[in-house]
Amino acid sequence: MEQSEDTRDIIEGIRLENEGGRLLLNGTDISSSDDGDRVSLESLTVSDRSTFGAADQDNANAVENTGILLENFGQLLLERVGGVVSNGVFLGFSGPRYPDQPFFEAKGGIALEYLYSTAATSSGDTGNSNVMTLQFDGWNQARGDYIINLKALAEQPSQELDTKYSYTLLSERLIQIFETGFRSNIRWELVLGNTLGDSPSQKKFSLGGPTSLRGFPQAGTLQQDNYLLTRVDYEFPLITTPWWGNVSSLGLQGTVFFDQGRAWGDELDLDEAEDRRNVGVGIRWGVDAASLIQIPLKFEIAYPVGDKDYRSPQFIFFGVLTGS
């Protein structure tokens, strides 16, 4: 199938190299991510467009009234994150992207995995495994100043392939964004994760870290089979006037936030788990590289609140490559 001009531009803007055993993305070393940072390469191919709900293309009324335009796609996965190296394939479909309209994407796949020990997952779980995964991601902008996003994931290793683990992992993340003014918003997240069965330490949920409680480390003592947490961020512009030409359009933002959550294993339940909280502040800056790749830079400092085990602040500074 012939690629569109936009697709060719995106592919040509990414350069992947192997230099002396190091993996380089556009000249940046991405080969040493073992503390939970995600390094992935996905190859997206639009293979078909179909209309769900209309049995006959000649029936224009059926297409217009009940049809949903679906875009089928495939993804190749090469990933190294949190002590797991994954190689797999995903197949899925997504709805059309229209402004102020609901959007969804659903996909499923299978990946072969290699487990290795890291500083954050030091229990010694190593060896080969695999995972079958189902994922859903849905967005809805009900009105101009409110956005809701639901992400859900389910994974389980196949006993027909090489693995010594038998578990079922479920994870859900609900995000609501309330626009409060010029480039300012309140972002609220609710995250729930549960694991049933015998899972490796790399598959445990970490209550501490950049994507959970930011005032706590990604320590093994905070990794459990289940967790529940909430995060609230208030983001606001640090520059609102057009200083130095386009400086104000670069998205330099300030943020204050509060996180709270609990993690527990089979020996405890939610009510018995330790309640942990933190507060923090930060600066975020979205760098647009040639309108092809957006690099959100973030610096945050978070402090545990009233915790008897953890008192030191955590500093978060990272850049994540995302498709624009």
- In tens, the pLDDT along 154-176 reads 999 999 999 999 999 999 999 99
Which pLDDT does position 121 carry in this prediction?
55
**Closest by Cα among 204, 197, 193 to 229:** 193
In a domain, 319, yes or no: yes
Sequence-ordered alpha helix ranges (H) in the chain:
5-12, 60-66
pTM of the model: 0.73
Q: Are residues 26 and 117 in the same domain?
A: no
CA 117 – CA 198 distance, rounded (Å): 17
Structurally, the chain folds into a number of domains equal to 2
pLDDT of residue 176: 95
Q: Is residue 275 part of a domain?
A: yes
**Same domain, yes or no: 51 and 92:** yes
Verify that 14 and 112 share a domain, yes or no: no
C-alpha distances in Å from residue 136, one per residue of 63, 66, 166, 216, 316: 24, 22, 23, 28, 28
> Which pLDDT tens digit goes with each residue over 85-106?
999 999 999 988 777 788 999 9
Tokens 């949903």 sit on residue: 68
Domain assignment of residue 38, yes or no? no
Residues 210 and 272 in one domain: yes
The tens digit of pLDDT for each residue in 1-34 reads 444 444 333 333 444 444 444 444 444 444 444 4
Q: List the beta bridge partners of residue 288.
A: 294
| Co-location of 174 and 209 in the same domain | yes
- Strands 184-198 and 166-181 turn out to be antiparallel
Domain range enclosing 318: 43-323
13 and 67: one domain? no
φ, ψ of residue 240 to 5 degrees: the values are -115, -10
Same domain, 10 and 137: no
Task: List the end-to-end C-alpha distance of the chain, in Å, as a whole number.
Answer: 23
Could you tell me if residue 180 is inside a domain? yes
Q: What is the pLDDT of residue 170?
A: 97
pLDDT, residue 117, reads 83
- CATH code: domain of residue 284: 2.40.160.50
In this structure, is residue 156 part of a structural domain? yes
- pLDDT < 70: residue spans in the chain: 1-69, 119-124, 142-144, 240-250, 286-296, 318-324
Which residue has 């060719």 as its token pair? Answer: 8
Beta strands in 6-102 (DSSP E): 16-19, 22-25, 28-29, 39-52, 68-81, 84-94
Q: Residues 64-79: pLDDT tens digits?
A: 334 456 788 899 989 9
Beta-sheet pairing, 146-156 with 127-143: antiparallel
- Backbone φ and ψ of 65, nearest 5°: -90, -35
Instruction: For residue 272, tell me if it sits in a domain.
Output: yes
pLDDT at 151: 97
- Is 109 within the bounds of a domain? yes
C-alpha distances in Å from residue 156, one per residue of 1, 113, 199, 223, 294: 33, 12, 10, 19, 33
Both 71 and 152 in a single domain?
Answer: yes
Residue 37 lies inside a defined structural domain of this protein: no
Whether residues 28 and 122 share a domain: the answer is: no
Residues 167 and 54 both lie in one domain: yes
Specify the pLDDT at position 66: 40
Is residue 165 domain-shared with residue 309, that is, in the same domain? yes
Are the C-beta atoms of 184 and 209 separated by less than 8 Å? no
pLDDT of residue 4: 43
| pLDDT the model gives residue 69 | 67
Q: Are residues 24 and 144 in the same domain?
A: no
